[in-house]
Structure 1
Amino acid sequence: MAATNHTFHPAVFLLWGISGLEELHIWISIPFCTMYVVALGGNSLLIIFICMEHSLHEPMYLFLAMLSLSDLLLSTAIMPKMLAIFWFEDRVISFQDCITQMFSVIAIFVMESTVLLAMAFDRYVAICYPLRYTMILSPSVIRKIAGFSLARGLLITSPFIFLVEQLPFCGNNIITNTYCELPKISRLACADITAINIYTLVLSFLSTGLDVILISISYTFILQAVFRLPSRDAQLKALGTCSSHVCVILMFYIPAYLTVLISHIQYGILLTNLYVVVPPALNPIIYGVRTKQIRDHIIRRFSQLGRACFAGDVRNN
């Protein structure tokens, strides 16, 4: 009997949503749904534009397409179930689906952090070694970076499945969140979760912690190279090529660490849920507005579409 209890997993979990604000779920869903639609549309358009326009087949924009794909996957792994909870009170999720969602969120988070590190390396090479830029970041290197990002996310995250599968659950199956989050799941277990906590700390260092350190080192070298440029205009132009990336980095890492600190306070879950939809919604807007090549391409494409529609109306009349 003890062995049976040791391996017991609940058939389902209940995702309770945002505790204390259950009566406002419908109203809360409005901004979440709006941002999710913006994230889907913005990131999809960005990926399509980069794929269609040959002049955007450069390392910087290919990395941006990877970032947009990661944003799409991250928000889509969470938002449909979250909206189902808000709209239909559909709180039930099977044990295996919950573990799959947990794994997907962590793996995609690690992949996106890797892509941001690659983008920092891209800016370092572009500013510090401009003449060797295309040689260092060749298409084969970019493919290897994309493969490494995927493999890193899967390999670092895979042990979590084994660790959670070994946990015994003794009855409580209510997760006070809108998605399956590792800390929430592990706290439901009636067993020692020290191994999971230790591995989480190791994971944090090997992924986001190490990435933040390497990104900081990259920008230290970038700033040194920029301030050695002869003119102020050249300095501002070089810094301008990094501004969008810096904004995205700040939106990715700062809220990620803040969510760890505020997740235990009242209504902290609301803020942590905003994190999974706000950056994916804002990232394509930031790059679309601040990157001239993308902005010009989008304007040109929509202008061509507008002229084609106008010409069609004239012919029909």
Structure 2
Amino acid sequence: MEFFNSAVEKNTTFVRPAYFIISGFIGIPNISYYFVFLCFIYIISVVGNTLVMIIIILDHTLRSPKHIAVCHLAFTDLLSSSALVPKVLDIFLFKHYNISYNDCLTFMFFCFSFVSMQAFNLVVLSFDRVMAIIFPLHYQMRVSHKLILSLIAFFWLLAITLTLIAVGLLTRISFCKSVVIQSYYCDHGPVFRLGCNDVNPSRSFADLALVLVPLLIFWLPLTIVLISYVYIGYALAKVATVQERMKGFKTCTAHLSLVAIYFIPVLITFTLGADLDPNARTFLCPLSFLQS
């Protein structure tokens, strides 16, 4: 964190709460019953993703670059659900709405890294489909295991770097008013908005990160995927017969399903998060709860 420490004067004192309160689920009746549903979904996710990875690893016929990307997508989905679900289950079952300052930032780092990597992994799969449909004769030569693994490694580095910058900048902001996070988890934007309105270099960097991070880890991958399918649609439109067009489109249905499964819930989460009233259920933090 030396980079962030050097962004402000050494004598700057940051006020940090002992804990935050996650308010998205407060007031929902019979919230304990949601535990059964979420636990069932989590078990299905773990079992399903594990089976996908085992099948691809053990079956020697599934060693193509595409299946490597699919296996890695299952792995990142397993990581992201394991980072997000335990705290939500804790809220549903025990109504522990509070989370410590350090735990919140740690949760944010891992959750955002894994979730953003899922989006980037869908970009890798869209690249594979573009090459397979637009350049079918050169696919085997251009798309190799090394290329796919290099893309995955690059996107891991990008996801971790972006998340580390976003979360690290939050450590350079003081929290001296409310400790209530207007979201369903430790989300970067709602936590950022709890900071004091002091004007300093760290705040300016954090303002920029608040805009750029969602743009880079969500909207950029979605835009690339959509553009790739515009090219695919254009290429299929030039195919002579309807049967050949449908055959080419069917090779993309699995990927399109994964894109919908990932991006639609994220869009819904953003929409529901935006509907949370920032003035509702406001808990002012007593000075005894704050620590420098």
Please give the TM-score of this superposition, normalised by the length of structure 1: 0.76
Change (3 A) 1:148 1:258: same
CA distance in 1, matches of 2:270, 2:109: 18
CA distance in 1, matches of 2:231, 2:24: 44
In the other structure, the counterpart of 2:283 is none
Give the AA of the match of 2:146: S
> Cα RMSD over matched residues?
2.2
1:239 aligns with 2:231: no
- Check whether the contact 1:170–1:189 (CA below 8 A) recurs between aligned residues: yes
CA distance in 2, matches of 1:186, 1:99: 11
CA distance in 1, matches of 2:95, 2:266: 27
- Check whether the contact 2:183–2:276 (CA below 8 A) recurs between aligned residues: no
Change (3 A) 1:87 1:4: farther
Change (3 A) 1:176 1:214: closer
Q: CA deviation at 1:32?
A: 1.3
In the other structure, the counterpart of 1:291 is none
In the other structure, the counterpart of 1:58 is 64
CA distance in 2, matches of 1:113, 1:53: 26
1:216 aligns with 2:216: no
1:170 aligns with 2:180: no
Q: CA deviation at 1:225?
A: 1.9
Q: Report the identity percentage.
A: 28
Cα deviation per residue 1:58-104 (whole Å; 9 max; x = unaligned)?
12211111111111111111111111121122334322111011112
In the other structure, the counterpart of 1:206 is 216
In the other structure, the counterpart of 1:14 is 21
In the other structure, the counterpart of 1:313 is none
Please give the TM-score of this superposition, normalised by the length of structure 2: 0.82
- Structure 2 residue aligned with 1:158, among 164, 172, 175? 164
1:95 aligns with 2:88: no
CA distance in 2, matches of 1:178, 1:221: 37
Change (3 A) 1:5 1:27: farther
Which structure 2 residues correspond to residues 1-317 of structure 1 after superposition, within 5 A? Answer: 6-16=13-23, 18-21=25-28, 23-170=29-176, 172-192=178-198, 195-265=205-275
Q: CA deviation at 1:181?
A: 1.0
- Check whether the contact 2:167–2:188 (CA below 8 A) recurs between aligned residues: no
Q: Secondary structure at the match of 2:16?
A: coil
- Check whether the contact 1:5–1:168 (CA below 8 A) recurs between aligned residues: no
Q: CA deviation at 1:177?
A: 4.1
- Check whether the contact 2:124–2:148 (CA below 8 A) recurs between aligned residues: no
My pick for the range that moved more, 218-227 or 252-261, is 252-261
Give the AA of the match of 1:154: I
Q: Secondary structure at the match of 2:274?
A: coil
Gaps of 5+ in 2: 1-9, 278-292
Aligned residue pairs total 264
- Check whether the contact 1:29–1:86 (CA below 8 A) recurs between aligned residues: yes
In the other structure, the counterpart of 1:297 is none
Q: CA deviation at 1:197?
A: 3.7
Gaps of 5+ in 1: 268-317
In the other structure, the counterpart of 2:3 is none
Q: Secondary structure at the match of 2:32?
A: helix
